[in-house]
Structure 1
Amino acid sequence: MQMVLLRSKTTMPQALNSAIERERLYDLLGYDRTRKITFVRSPAGYGKTTILSQWFSQFDEPVAWLSIEVADNDPIRFWKYVIHSVTEITKNNIDLELASLFASQEPSAFEFLIDSFLNEMSLVKQTISIVLDDYHLIENATIHKMMVQFIEYLPSNVQIYITSRADVPLPIAKWRAKSWLREIGMEQLRFTYEEIQQFYEKKNCLYTDVSMLQHVLKKTEGWVTGIQLTELSLNSSTINDFNIDALNGAHPYIADFLLQDILAALSPSIQDFLIRTSILKSLDPLVCNALTNRSDSLSILSELEKKGLFIVRLNSTPPVYRYHHLFAEALQIELKNRYSEELVASIITETATLLQDKGDTISAIELAISKQDYELAVSWITTYLVDIFTSGQTSTFIGWVKTLRMNHYPIPYEMLVMDVIALISTLKFEEAVEIMTELEQKQVTEKWMDLEENLGVASIYETVKAYAIFGMGGDIEQATEIVQRQLEKGRVGSRWDNIPMQYNTFEHKILRTSIGSKGKFWPFEKSYPLVKLFRETEFKDDNMTAYSYGSSAESLYEKGFIDAASSELKIAIQYGHKFRDPGLFIPMYLLKAQIYIKNNNFIAAHAFLKNSMETVKEKHWIKTLRTKIAHCYLLEGNLLQAEQELIMSRSRQPFWLLVNARLLMAKSQASDALSSIMQVKTKALQEMQISTIIEATVLEAICEKALGNDDSAMMALHEALLQGAPYEYVRTFLDEKASIPLLKAYLKMRKTKNDPSWNTVPLTYVTRLLHDIQSEDNALDSLTPREQEVFSLLADGATNREIADRLFLTEGTVRVYLTTIYSKLGVNSRAKAILLKQ
């Protein structure tokens, strides 16, 4: 099921013809257009939405509008709507470009999504105005965090408008201090005497003498909804019947009182129409017809709009309306007061069913749950559970399960197992463990896993349990036992069998993902039994098995087993193309290129990476490949080409930032490089990304050395070694040639300085690293004395003629020597041979 994107949510409400022009507020909105955020805050009924719709209606530029509701407290749903609304007004394919990035719920994936969205908007050649209406309804901390990132890095061509009834958990004070913020509050939104007068005149209200208007202003304190209510009440009363003193603008809930008068002036059938349709978020005339058993809903809604009865028409065709929030809330109270519980329940069920029949399953379930019709909600969740997961709305699902559990409603086992998967995917491990513990207890008391109808979901649960143990760094032997037990029982098919799992949506290394344990390597003797089970049994065609080859290839390379890594990555690439999963084959392409680089075969690395760019169309994967190409150029000493590639692949991802830091070091800008490295390291420490922590800390040591801070360099190197020793990291150190003198100095310091604080890193580990360096240096030792003479002159920059003259050889003989030297060193050009010597 594709997520249904309701047009009514992304359509700017139409400003009423009877609305007065509020020039003083237009001046506020138009002042200093360089301010990137406009925050309109006031209690309900002060005209926040109206003033923005009036403001934007003056211009030809389209606006990306999102009317927020409680159901939008799902990061995937929220940002799909925002991106969709921007795509609609820019008439490009931003939503398609970013579609693949919605597959993961991990924080790093959300951060990458926002970065990619910002980049796409920066390429648009127009001003983009985004309105987030009723942001106070957002309570999801992840969405707030993403919003902060979104606004902090907003391109200059984008402006954000936020309306809210209350303060929001965003760094408003910080943005105010930076002069990013334009604020409009309750004081500015209040009607002035002149505006009340204009409003009454436009409404053709007879009672507009000065004393009456002043009395209205005093009692309403300029509260817009209160002023509208007085006008409606005046039109339905005589001046003698109307009691203005009943109005107290300090208390918005006077709507409950005045609606009695307003409703009383309407016919019983219209009252019934209003009350029955009040639970709809948007008023589609066709849905209203079905719900009220009538055929004239469009004309009723149109007439109510003309009367100014707290109904807003959206700019969509055919027309769709919605009630003002206060009006809807009051009508819903009247629904419960006027009708029996049985009839109310029937109306809710009928409304939810109409939404479901229309294809808006999420809204139907939300309505059923909000009105405590849990049986209906669970039946729909169960029916559409696979679709809910494949559409990425797992946070919404987590919220439903939480509500059901809080209300002690019995939840089907399949939903509980899927809740575990959803919680793990969003890194809510403690909550996942809580559900798993409950499932284990229910197995003891109810033997649910042994019941025939649960065998399929029980098999999934066992696999999830093993994955959770592995991904969270638990007891791998326990995970192996679970898989072994599952194989002995035999896997049971289910409706989830053909649903592919996306383990990597954007990372350049599998070791940075959960399935790669974020860089924590398992000892071979412990991991092999589990890997063997996956590769030699009915699991062999699973995505998880495919990724085991990729993870193995990266870890083998890191440990220095290059040939074994090459074998594993070859199989991983085959799997990646079989599953059409760039999250697997792109990291393997990068690893293959790295092996070429290690062997000083830069021509092959460049050719391979450039050909690889033809295998994907997603911009973020192309940028990843370009970043690796930049790394190649950098290692060759071609700083200009490296910089050009980095400009084309600009990103805030650790991979790009660290390659760019290497470029800065090569340009003798070590201070700037160090600043960028520390930014990456700090974030990696927060996320416990072991491979990135080690890489960044090695580069930190090199930077400190370049800045003349020898002690700091040794301390940083010690920290990197401390992180790398438990997992036997090798290549992260050796692939940075500038780290080798530091390693030698570190070993010498450790042998001469008896300080227990340094003993946390085993000397055997450092010795092993230097031994591997020596092994690589042995390639030079393989040259004969005469070849070494030729190579020495070559390294000094001598031409073939100069070498021939110095060694009393012919140029032809020199060329023969050079061919032999290149072959022994594993290079194919003079420049690469000289680079190896350096």
Structure 2
Amino acid sequence: MMQMVWLSSKTKVPRTMVDAVDRERLYELLRYDESKKVTIVRAPAGYGKTTLLSQWFTQSNEPVAWLSLDEADNDPIRFWKYVVHMVSSISQSNIAQELSSLFNSQEASSLEFLIDSFLNELSLTSSSINIVMDDYHLIENDTIHQMIIQFIEYLPDNVQVYLTSRTVLPLPIAKWRVKSWLKEISTEQLRFTHEETQQFYENKNLHFNDDKLLQHVLKMTEGWATGIQLAGLSINTSQTVDIMDSAHPFITEFLLQEILNTLPPSTQDFLLHTSLLHSLEPAVCDKLTNRSDSYSVLLELEKKGLFIVRLNSNQPVFRYHHLFAEALQIELKKRYSQEMVSSIVIETATLLQDKGDFIAAIEILLNEQANELAESWITTHLVDIFTSGQTSTYVRWVQTLRNNHYSVSFEVLVMYIITLISVQQMEEAGKLIFELEHRQVTEKWMDAEENQGIASIFETVRAYAIIAIGDDIEKATEIIQRQLENGRVSSRWDNIPMQYNLFEHKILRTSIGSKGKFWPLEKAIPFAKLFRETELKDQNMTAFSYGASAETLYEKNYLEVAVVELEIALQYGHSYNDPGLFIPMYILKAHIHAMNSNFVVAHALLDSTIDIVKEKHWINSLRTMKARCYLLEGDILQAETELCKAESRHPFWLLVNARLLLAKGNAEEALKATIQVKTKALQEMQVSTIIEAAVLEAICEMELDHEDAAMMALHEALGHGAPYGYVRTFLDEKAIIPLLKTYLNVQQTNKNLHWNFVPASYLEQLIAQEPTQGSLLDSLTPREREVFRLLVDGATNREIANRLFLTEGTIRVYLTTIYSKLGVNSRAKAVLIK
């Protein structure tokens, strides 16, 4: 896998100039307030946003993770890799290592889980952490915005975030303001006062003989830091006042006429040749300008205060102020011929690529529309881009090339489709698949010898897209069958492992599991055979097909066959050393043991699996399953202990916790949790989770004596479950059978078409699985049976507590569990089962 190139220029706090003005009135606003989660410093360019924060953290000596953002950071994986890397570094923790396995997917649920895991790691650190994201206005990726919202809203108390921006941010500012989470520093507060302006000039040994001139500069600049600096640079010229009268609208012209043109020609050439660089390293500047004194030039520019910033790093690294860089780039294209500019662009990009920073290199080429070379380098680094997870960057690049009306290669387009599918942009992926199918008709591109490898991948992609959306599996079967008949063609992608599951406890929650949509077995079996009985049998997709099959067969209540598929999937999972396959299988295996009351075996299996995995999120999934087993066993205290160890916002944890709340008699809180999970699952169309949450919602409503609401929730669960034949999600909840019977009665007596949407045959199939009364009592633990026996004898809660040397509160908990297992909601109904 490609190693991330960490650019020190992005992660170092800009160095504070020794003659900078101390702004104590603003420092007071920045002083620590534990009630605040985020500080936003917003103002147009040149108001000193970055300078203020760098001054504050330099003088306060507080630990800070600093990230200077640029356009290349519009990729969620790249963005958060930098944030996690910085935080891990300043906190001297292993957070980056703990989260490393989660940086391989741009799917929304994966990214959400990444943030949850990061927040959990931050909450475990004892030190305070400050995170600065400078120039956040350059981030235009909505996914990153959503992740930032999630990050800030659940931020632990020991962490504060600082954002600088030129523009209004697409974040819920009003909400954060109402909740008192937000500090804001605006343009008005950043404006220099008369005293600060005077101090600025005195620190630079510049003196106005007439205070009226100082007042005029302050009036015309309106306290704009850059304008005040420009006035200082031109203080010895007669144009000071005239220029400052129009410095805002003509800042570029002023920078060029009054700053650049006053410098020696060799220095001007140096500035123009290096203007495309985001960070200025003397060695790189030497190569780009064919000189050996770049370090001296940069120091001299800094000494003169010419809009250059030195970064705090072991090696000398500088950067131009954004306004200055923009002005230089404009002048570059005016002063030099197109051929010369192209040469500088390519030379700059080549130097960056040679340093290993191909991301920045390609960005420069695309910005300057050097499309052919950009595509060539994109193709060269395509495998690295995919293995590093930075596919959002790739999407943006391809969109830029296509917007430039550049005809990209078929390999780039096919990998673009794969990327779109991976981030669930199925509609856009479908359009591109149609485009390439049409081009096959008109151009016969798939028949060309040089395209055989990528054409074969395209066929696989078409089949995978069908699987991902749960579409016509017969069409997918035809595609794979044709591919096998034509013979598979090798390509450079053959040895790149596909990671189908980064963190889900169920394969059925992933794209390869069609997010819980099942096909009829008569259609699914021929498709599975194509993988299991052909040269595809050793493919990763084949391994996951066994896992998805095991979960599907269990859900349909074909237990014996499910166990066979499960064991084969486990063998594959260990063979590939892929916890994304073997962890869900161990969870399913433990679940089957627990449903058969083999709790000792279930816990032993989960404990042994915990011992062989390192990733914390997998350990948390296994602990959550242990909690589920303890609840089935009736051991509420142990269940709560396990859940506390594995706390998460993942639906698996939330629904097991809802069951715990139910067992403790807190049906209202359980109901809130299940509705929250169901709502999100509906947004993501996670069928298995929708059904599970709706079933639990119905049980909660019934526990609260809300029968109508319970029937509506159950109707929703059945409506989603019937088309795919879900069984075990219903039957594995002991309290569901009475609800199903009530629902069937409502359906039979109510002729409203709404209720007849669920086939009666499906309902009857579920009810036919009702356990016998004997097996219901067998589900009770020995202690619960003692409580139940005394209950049947007519003992009160106090009498039961005294007889068993327990508290009345503990007896109430036991009774809640007993009622749940017996599928009743009162003492009177429980006594009837004896």
Q: TM-score range by the shorter chain?
A: over 0.9
Selected match of 2:404 from 404, 407, 421: 407
Q: Aligned partners of 1:83 and 1:780: how far apart in 2? A: 50
AA paired with 1:164? S
The answer (yes or no) to whether the contact 1:633–1:641 under 8 Å persists in 2 is: yes
How far does residue 363 in structure 1 lie from its aligned partner after superposition? 0.6
SS of the aligned residue for 1:38 comes to: strand
SS of the aligned residue for 1:652 comes to: coil
Structure 2 partner of 1:90: 91
Structure 1 partner of 2:261: 264
The answer (yes or no) to whether the contact 2:234–2:240 under 8 Å persists in 1 is: no
Q: Aligned partners of 2:744 and 2:515: how far apart in 1? A: 28
Structure 2 partner of 1:454: 451
Structure 2 partner of 1:712: 709
Structure 2 partner of 1:69: 70
CA, structure 1 residues 134+253, in 2 after alignment: closer, same or farther (shift >3 Å)? Answer: farther
How far does residue 636 in structure 1 lie from its aligned partner after superposition? 1.2
The answer (yes or no) to whether the contact 1:220–1:249 under 8 Å persists in 2 is: no
SS of the aligned residue for 2:754 comes to: helix
Q: Aligned partners of 1:79 and 1:16: how far apart in 2? A: 30
Q: Are residues 1:471 and 2:471 paired? A: no
Q: Aligned partners of 1:607 and 1:92: how far apart in 2? A: 31
Aligned residues: 789
AA paired with 2:91? T
Structure 1 partner of 2:364: 367
Q: Aligned partners of 2:226 and 2:115: how far apart in 1? A: 37
Q: Are residues 1:608 and 2:609 paired? A: no
Q: Aligned partners of 1:548 and 1:494: how far apart in 2? A: 23
The answer (yes or no) to whether the contact 2:127–2:158 under 8 Å persists in 1 is: yes
Structure 2 partner of 1:105: 106
The answer (yes or no) to whether the contact 2:597–2:633 under 8 Å persists in 1 is: no
The answer (yes or no) to whether the contact 2:119–2:156 under 8 Å persists in 1 is: yes
The answer (yes or no) to whether the contact 2:550–2:563 under 8 Å persists in 1 is: yes
Selected match of 2:541 from 539, 544, 550: 544
Structure 1 partner of 2:695: 698
CA, structure 1 residues 607+401, in 2 after alignment: closer, same or farther (shift >3 Å)? Answer: same
Q: Are residues 1:763 and 2:747 paired? A: no
AA paired with 1:122? S
Identity fraction in percent: 66
Q: Are residues 1:653 and 2:646 paired? A: no
The answer (yes or no) to whether the contact 1:233–1:258 under 8 Å persists in 2 is: no
Residues 222-241 of structure 1 mapped to structure 2, 5 A cutoff: 222-234=223-235, 237-238=236-237, 241=238
Q: Aligned partners of 1:635 and 1:413: how far apart in 2? A: 54
Selected match of 2:332 from 305, 311, 335: 335
Selected match of 1:569 from 544, 566, 571: 566
AA paired with 1:25? L
How far does residue 712 in structure 1 lie from its aligned partner after superposition? 1.4
How far does residue 249 in structure 1 lie from its aligned partner after superposition? 6.3
Q: Aligned partners of 1:60 and 1:401: how far apart in 2? A: 43
Selected match of 2:500 from 492, 500, 503: 503
The answer (yes or no) to whether the contact 1:15–1:53 under 8 Å persists in 2 is: yes
Selected match of 2:662 from 645, 662, 665: 665
Which stretch has the larger CA shift, 279-288 or 81-90?
81-90
AA paired with 2:624? T
Q: Aligned partners of 1:105 and 1:3: how far apart in 2? A: 17
**Residues 460-479 of structure 1: CA deviation (Å, up to 9, x unaligned):** 01001001011112211111
CA, structure 1 residues 794+83, in 2 after alignment: closer, same or farther (shift >3 Å)? Answer: closer
Q: Aligned partners of 1:780 and 1:683: how far apart in 2? A: 33
SS of the aligned residue for 1:58 comes to: helix
**Residues 328-377 of structure 1: CA deviation (Å, up to 9, x unaligned):** 01111111111111111100100000000001011101111111111111
Q: Aligned partners of 2:583 and 2:785: how far apart in 1? A: 39
In structure 2, runs of 5+ residues without a counterpart are 779-783, 792-829
Q: Aligned partners of 2:589 and 2:710: how far apart in 1? A: 31
Q: Aligned partners of 1:301 and 1:605: how far apart in 2? A: 66
Structure 2 partner of 1:306: 303
Structure 1 partner of 2:119: 118
How far does residue 760 in structure 1 lie from its aligned partner after superposition? 1.0
How far does residue 754 in structure 1 lie from its aligned partner after superposition? 4.1
**Residues 785-818 of structure 1: CA deviation (Å, up to 9, x unaligned):** xxxxxx99997379xxxxxxxxxxxxxxxxxxxx
Which stretch has the larger CA shift, 43-52 or 427-436?
427-436
Structure 1 partner of 2:807: none
Q: Aligned partners of 1:598 and 1:628: how far apart in 2? A: 12
Residues 52-67 of structure 1 mapped to structure 2, 5 A cutoff: 52-67=53-68
**Residues 420-471 of structure 1: CA deviation (Å, up to 9, x unaligned):** 0011111111211121122112111211111111111110010010010111
Residues 553-632 of structure 1 mapped to structure 2, 5 A cutoff: 553-632=550-629
CA, structure 1 residues 760+33, in 2 after alignment: closer, same or farther (shift >3 Å)? Answer: closer
The answer (yes or no) to whether the contact 2:10–2:67 under 8 Å persists in 1 is: yes
Structure 1 partner of 2:133: 132
Q: Aligned partners of 2:113 and 2:624: how far apart in 1? A: 16
CA, structure 1 residues 713+292, in 2 after alignment: closer, same or farther (shift >3 Å)? Answer: same
Q: Are residues 1:273 and 2:270 paired? A: yes
Structure 1 partner of 2:159: 158
Structure 2 partner of 1:290: 287
Structure 2 partner of 1:344: 341
How far does residue 757 in structure 1 lie from its aligned partner after superposition? 2.7
Q: TM-score, with normalisation over the residues of structure 1?
A: 0.92
The answer (yes or no) to whether the contact 2:115–2:151 under 8 Å persists in 1 is: yes
How far does residue 495 in structure 1 lie from its aligned partner after superposition? 0.4
Structure 2 partner of 1:168: 169
SS of the aligned residue for 2:41 comes to: strand
CA, structure 1 residues 794+176, in 2 after alignment: closer, same or farther (shift >3 Å)? Answer: closer
Selected match of 1:772 from 769, 772, 777: 769
AA paired with 1:40? V
Q: Aligned partners of 1:551 and 1:346: how far apart in 2? A: 54
AA paired with 2:77? I
AA paired with 1:192? T
The answer (yes or no) to whether the contact 1:197–1:208 under 8 Å persists in 2 is: no
Selected match of 1:634 from 622, 625, 631: 631
The answer (yes or no) to whether the contact 1:221–1:250 under 8 Å persists in 2 is: no
The answer (yes or no) to whether the contact 2:227–2:248 under 8 Å persists in 1 is: no
CA, structure 1 residues 659+289, in 2 after alignment: closer, same or farther (shift >3 Å)? Answer: same
Structure 1 partner of 2:684: 687
CA, structure 1 residues 258+520, in 2 after alignment: closer, same or farther (shift >3 Å)? Answer: closer
**Residues 662-705 of structure 1: CA deviation (Å, up to 9, x unaligned):** 11111110001100110001001111111011101110111011
Q: Aligned partners of 1:575 and 1:256: how far apart in 2? A: 66
Selected match of 1:323 from 320, 335, 339: 320
SS of the aligned residue for 1:99 comes to: helix
RMSD: 1.9
Structure 2 partner of 1:20: 21
AA paired with 1:362? I
Structure 2 partner of 1:211: 212
The answer (yes or no) to whether the contact 1:106–1:425 under 8 Å persists in 2 is: yes
Q: Aligned partners of 2:155 and 2:742: how far apart in 1? A: 45
Q: TM-score, with normalisation over the residues of structure 2?
A: 0.92
AA paired with 1:170? L
SS of the aligned residue for 1:372 comes to: coil
CA, structure 1 residues 412+313, in 2 after alignment: closer, same or farther (shift >3 Å)? Answer: same
Q: Aligned partners of 2:565 and 2:274: how far apart in 1? A: 61
AA paired with 1:746? Y
The answer (yes or no) to whether the contact 1:680–1:696 under 8 Å persists in 2 is: yes
Structure 1 partner of 2:81: 80
Q: Aligned partners of 2:398 and 2:361: how far apart in 1? A: 16
In structure 1, runs of 5+ residues without a counterpart are 783-790, 799-833
SS of the aligned residue for 2:655 comes to: helix
Q: Are residues 1:142 and 2:133 paired? A: no
The answer (yes or no) to whether the contact 1:9–1:67 under 8 Å persists in 2 is: yes
Q: Aligned partners of 1:136 and 1:574: how far apart in 2? A: 49
Q: Aligned partners of 1:74 and 1:208: how far apart in 2? A: 52
SS of the aligned residue for 2:245 comes to: coil
How far does residue 259 in structure 1 lie from its aligned partner after superposition? 2.9
